[in-house]
Chain A
Amino acid sequence: MRLLFDHGTLVLADPPDLRLDFVPGLLWDPRVGLYRAPAFRYAEVLAALQARALPCVDEVGASQGSELGAWRPLALRPYQRAALLSWDLADQRGLLVMPTGSGKTRVALSAIAASGGRTLCLVPTRALLQQWLAQLGAAYTGRLGCLGDGQRAVEAVTVSTFESAYRLMPTIGNRFDLLVVDEAHHFGVGARDEALEMCTAPRRLGLTATPPDAGAMHRLSQLLGDTCYQLGVADLTGSYLADFELVVLPLGLNAAERERYEQDNRRFSELNRRFRQLYPQGTWQELVSVASQSAEGRAALAAWRRARRLLGFTSAKARAVATLLARHRGSRILVFTADNAAAYAIARQHLIMPMTCDISRAERQRALECFRRGELEALVSARVLNEGIDVPDAEVAIVVGSALGEREHVQRVGRLLRPAPGKRAVVYELVTAATSEVWRAATRRRALGGRRLSA
């Protein structure tokens, strides 16, 4: 009996003449007349066969390719050492949940060095690809492979974008012993999960600041392992992360805005009420799908979009942004908006650099460098600064609007938490009173783990 890697799956060739349903994930593939199992169950399949003392030649080929280099020693903080130990005790499988700025990458580098195996690191963006290559280059003496951003080289330690891994895993999925997934909350919900399924690496390490919801978490625990270590922002602020103050500014709507908001909100609430009567457990996607079937439903969805847009940047918020920018002149400020339109409006009015998907990567990089050197005092962004970019240190954040909830909020606040002597960051949250923003903002704040509020 031979165990082979075939296009991102495992194949059991020359099987014995007995039922193999005790092997986890193994199914009969009538197309080729062989048993087949998902590649991520490699260790379980081998263990099951060995437990029954069935002779099996392992031809998966997990240790092919170039030689491993040496690692320079890495100093870890106490909580980073604890995280590494927890992962080790969990059989080197699991998810580390640690806030932005707490040094997750450093823990991962130590894990790679400690495991001593061939490693594939997955990252969501090209910017993070370059950051990982730089950090690995400082700690590892061997050659580094890179998949993505125009490169296609596989080495014993390789960094890949999610996209490249998704495309190439059927051919390279058997070459690694350890799979490291940065920003792991992107997995567990869709087709990209196949990138993790098609890899045979038995050791797995996921990194995130914001674990996904229960459904995605269940899938993620199958693909990477359970959460083995978790720290919140509040656990590290004041010691390893800069302390910060959260200031909530309740603002109003003017008469015209209030009228428009109420009208649009009523229209959508009516649709939502009728949908909930029919489908009490219906999801947002199902609501949109049902509403899109009728002109009335589409009009209600359009009203919802208008209301969200209005709340994203009201006239009171515009005035508050002006006041706060003037008050903190001389500090480095990040302004976060719900959408690009609000980001451009603020950029145009206050002459501060917008960081949006429309701006080229080179120009964004140049702006971040200028921000780091203090040549630019403020940046305004809807989503680009949320994650996946090494944002220079800042002291003030103004959250004008948010579209993506708690996870986005934690990532944004994390941008201010790089510690510095005597530093105390300030996060201003602009919330429109007597609107849906109030409870959304409260939910977001809970994700920060009980911060002291000022108003």
Chain B
Amino acid sequence: MVAASRLSSSVEGQRLVLHYLGPRDEPWLRALLDVCARFAGKTQVELRERLNEPLPTMAPRRKLRLAIQVLERLLPEAPKRAPSPRELRFRVFHAAARSPAPRGEILGRVAQDLRVEVEQVEDALFADLASQRRVAPLPADLSPARLALLANQALVLTFLKRAERVRIRAWGNTRALIRHARMLGLICLIRRTAESEDAALAAREPRGVLLEISGPFALFRKTEVYGRSLSSLLPRAARCQHFELEADCVLSSGAALCTLLVSPSDPIYPARELPSYASSVEASFARDIGRLAPDWLLVSEPPPVERDGALIFPDFELHHRDDPARRWLLEIIGFWTPEHLREKLATLEAAKLSRMILCVDDARRCSEADLPAHARVLRYKSRIDVARLLQMIEASMP
């Protein structure tokens, strides 16, 4: 993880201030893009060596480092699958050791065996190695302004990965944000907020939602993957009509927490639209229900249930086709800790939602402690077992 002190930011009191890239940075960003464009087709390591040297235009060091990190993620070319570089190396180097023939002849022989051109053999020989991958051409729509927005987003995300707690208040078009948080399985509580102070917003949607999310630094396990999931929430928030993000971040070990505030006025690149199904687990579950339990009707994303200010968002509603009274709600939990589950179960109990089943993924457990006893929880590994779910429902029927 990059040290906080090496990022384009400063601390004022307890507040973390990010120094975003803006229009003033566009000249050197353009120079940077020009350099990268000239290296298309060359190896990553050649580009990296060039980027170690100064640009023709002066660039602030921390911002430049950030922009380069963003570009490095955009530029590597995907390794070609055939011929397999690893297999190719084995063949070529063995052939060369066996025969004193000239280089071209050896490559020609290997190419002939594999029924490919000699150039393909040359190209693929080290194509899978990180430093030897070719630099892809720049995306056509990558302008200095867009690179600045992407770099700003990366800057915020880096600090979100250091968060202990995150609170997002959002108004308007919030469904996508909540869906995304749930799809990622973040440990979060969702409730209604107080009315917005923005009159126009309040007229359209008087009460927004508040997501209270545990940050990666509040966990003991899987912090890196959790941090990545959490940070992907920000671009979704940017698609709401209005949002306020507040994160308590750990800048260095033992130091006091610093608060990062992000709002729509900050220059951050918005996200793409969401896929139709929230996750592959949900998609396969919907398919399995249709196939294995034709008597049951599955409704995706039923309306949220509101109890005492808390919002509960079931993923599915399952009801029997012949007996509508047999109606169950299902929520698929992603990352979880037993404490989080306990809290969730208490909320369900308070809401008198007795017919709700939580499905928890064993692979996304974030604590060593055990599950609460007697909870109506179905554990799964990569795929929800429909037969076990139906057994649980039948066993719970009076």
Residues B49 and A377 in contact, CB atoms below 8 Å apart: no
Residues B131 and A302 in contact, CB atoms below 8 Å apart: no
Name the residue of chain B whose CB is nearest to the CB of A330: B100
Residues A375 and B94 in contact, CB atoms below 8 Å apart: yes
Residues A309 and B49 in contact, CB atoms below 8 Å apart: yes
Residues A348 and B93 in contact, CB atoms below 8 Å apart: no
Residues A358 and B94 in contact, CB atoms below 8 Å apart: no
Asked if A340 is an interface residue, CB under 8 A from chain B, the answer is yes
Contacting residues, chain B, for A349 (C-beta < 8 A): 103
Asked if B342 is an interface residue, CB under 8 A from chain A, the answer is no
For the complex formed, measure the closest distance between the CB of A268 and the CB atoms of chain B, giving whole angstroms: 13
For the complex formed, measure the closest distance between the CB of A326 and the CB atoms of chain B, giving whole angstroms: 8
Interface string of A327-348 (1 = CB under 8 A from B): 0010000000000110010011
Contacting residues, chain A, for B103 (C-beta < 8 A): 349-351
Asked if B89 is an interface residue, CB under 8 A from chain A, the answer is yes
- Among candidates A350, A353, A358, residue contacting B129 with C-beta atoms closer than 8 Å: A358
In the bound complex, what is the Cα–Cα distance between A349 and B130 (angstroms)? 20
Contacting residues, chain B, for A309 (C-beta < 8 A): 49
Asked if B106 is an interface residue, CB under 8 A from chain A, the answer is yes
Most chain A CB within a 10 A radius of its CB, from B107, B126, B130: B126
Name the residue of chain B whose CB is nearest to the CB of A340: B131
Chain B interface, DSSP helix/strand/loop, else mixed: helix
Residues B45 and A340 in contact, CB atoms below 8 Å apart: yes
- Among candidates B45, B58, B94, residue contacting A370 with C-beta atoms closer than 8 Å: B94
In the bound complex, what is the Cα–Cα distance between A52 and B326 (angstroms)? 80
Contacting residues, chain B, for A298 (C-beta < 8 A): 53-54
Residues of B in contact (CB 8 Å), total 27
Asked if B82 is an interface residue, CB under 8 A from chain A, the answer is no
Report B94-126 residues with CB < 8 Å from chain A CB. 94-97, 100, 103, 106-107, 122, 125-126
Residues A299 and B54 in contact, CB atoms below 8 Å apart: yes
In the bound complex, what is the Cα–Cα distance between A359 and B93 (angstroms)? 14
Residues B129 and A351 in contact, CB atoms below 8 Å apart: no
Contacting residues, chain A, for B54 (C-beta < 8 A): 295, 298-299, 302
Asked if B391 is an interface residue, CB under 8 A from chain A, the answer is no
Asked if B9 is an interface residue, CB under 8 A from chain A, the answer is no
Asked if B196 is an interface residue, CB under 8 A from chain A, the answer is no
For the complex formed, measure the closest distance between the CB of B86 and the CB atoms of chain A, giving whole angstroms: 6
Contacting residues, chain B, for A366 (C-beta < 8 A): 90
Interface string of B48-71 (1 = CB under 8 A from A): 010011100010010000000000
Name 13 extra pairs, CB < 8 A, besides A299-B53, A352-B93. A298-B53, A344-B132, A349-B103, A350-B103, A351-B95, A351-B103, A351-B106, A351-B107, A352-B96, A358-B129, A363-B89, A375-B97, A377-B97
A interface, CB within 8 angstroms of B: 292, 295, 298-299, 302, 305-306, 309, 329, 340-341, 344, 347-354, 356, 358-360, 363, 366-367, 370, 375-378
Listed by A's residue number, 23 A-B pairs whose Cβ atoms lie within 8 Å are A298-B54, A302-B53, A305-B52, A329-B100, A340-B45, A340-B131, A341-B45, A344-B132, A348-B126, A350-B103, A351-B95, A351-B96, A351-B103, A351-B106, A351-B107, A352-B93, A354-B126, A358-B132, A367-B93, A376-B93, A376-B94, A376-B97, A378-B97
8 closest A-B pairs by CB:
A351-B96, A358-B129, A302-B53, A353-B93, A377-B97, A376-B97, A358-B130, A299-B54
B interface, CB within 8 angstroms of A: 45, 49, 52-54, 58, 61, 86, 89-90, 92-97, 100, 103, 106-107, 122, 125-126, 129-132
